[in-house]
Amino acid sequence: MVTRSKAGIHKPRVFTATKHHLPSTVDSLTVIPPTLTTYLQASKNSNWLAAMKDEYQALQSTGTWELVPPNPQYNLVGCKCVFKLKHKADGSIESYLKKDVYTVQPHGFIDHTKPYHVCKLKKYLYGLKQAPRAWSSTTVCQSIISKLQFLFPIKDLGDIHYFLGIEVHKSSAGLFLHESKYALDLLKKTDMFGVKPCSTPMGSAKLDHSSSILSNHTFYRSTIGALLYLTWTISDLIFTVNQVCQHMHSPRTIHLQAVRRILRYLKGTIDSGLWFKPGKQCFTAWSDVDWAGCPVDRRSTSGYCVFLGPNLISWSAKKQTTMARSSTEAEYRSLANTAVEITWVCKILQDISFPLLQTPVIYCDNQSSIALAKNSVFHA
């Protein structure tokens, strides 16, 4: 029997329909509507028309430009409308945004008395992104907002709840950060929405160079870039994403399979995140190493995680720059990297006058490297 693969017929597997449902906490997330690219498309939608009028009136009220006669010596830049949907954390539309950022008159808002005039910018145009508020004084906060409102049309959005794809939930237990919507969008983008979840992000196959090279590297590299952003809140992905990142210059079939396994793991942990709770003002760190774990160059991978009280604040998984001849050597280097990280974080806390009540503690599971660290004779 001649199968399709033997006959050279290959079709990408698309997982759209599935019986493996997402957790109930993310079932309400909706599909993102397509992004508009022209004024003609937006003019057919009443929501976009209202958003454009509001934006235009806001720019007019602040005196952003003035109309002047055209001159051949002017280096005119074309007018481009950027249409963007602002979403809430649950995927629903919060507002329609439009920004006119160039110097000819905006489409749909040409002055009929001066149709051939151009806009001479009197103020810079830029968007004020929602940012986390860290001001301790309410009076100072309101004073800054009032001064900004005098210069630009802005709105106080209150406490942070959604910022750059990271969702923030406050409760009596503490602060919970996660990227459920971002992860869901990634699964849809990679056609892995309907896959069966797996319990671990990494399989037993070695990521070597034995399989064939991928003909198209774009999907592999873009997916890894998105996974790197997810490591901000899903620390379980650090080591595995580090492994697949090492093959971005020449990815092979086995590496792509590893990336798809990470996406399967993401499907089952899409509502995972980081908790920040009240606790003791003390540092605790754990250091470990995967000795000679790379099957290609036999270099080791260092890893550490640093806690402030019960809260994870820093973590890393990085391949060591040189080969270690023994596990002791590799573990000792990892301990040194962890100590450097703690020293740096302690310096930051010192600069903001945050006191530490206890000396930081580092835990390691290698007795030989602990003996080296304790004996000052070996530190020369």
pLDDT by 10s per residue, the chain, length 380: 667 666 666 666 655 555 566 665 554 444 445 566 677 777 787 877 887 787 777 777 767 677 778 777 776 666 666 666 666 655 555 555 544 334 667 767 777 888 777 766 655 444 333 333 333 557 777 788 888 877 777 777 777 888 888 888 888 888 999 988 889 999 999 988 888 899 899 988 888 888 899 888 999 999 999 999 999 888 889 889 988 998 888 899 999 999 999 999 999 888 889 999 988 888 899 999 988 887 778 889 899 999 998 999 998 888 888 889 899 999 999 999 999 999 999 999 888 888 888 889 999 998 888 888 888 777 65
Torsion of CA 59, 60, 63, 64, to 10 degrees: 40
The tokens describing 261, both together, are 């396994």
Residues 260 and 268: their CA atoms lie apart, in Å, by 13
Residues 290 and 317: their CA atoms lie apart, in Å, by 10
pTM of this structure: 0.60
Q: Can you give the pLDDT at residue 122?
A: 57
Give 133: exposed, middle or buried? Use CB within 10 Å, 0-12, 13-18, 19+: middle
Q: Can you give the pLDDT at residue 129?
A: 34
Q: Which of these, 165, 356, 166, lies nearest to 276 by C-alpha position?
A: 166
Q: What is the DSSP letter of 117?
A: -
Q: What angle do CA 96, 125, 98 make, to 5 degrees?
A: 15
DSSP states of 160-178: --EETTEEEEEETTEEEEE
Residues 112 and 115: their CA atoms lie apart, in Å, by 5
Residues 327 and 323: their CA atoms lie apart, in Å, by 11
Q: Which residues pair with 95 in a beta bridge?
A: 86
DSSP states of 137-151: -HHHHHHHHHHHHHH
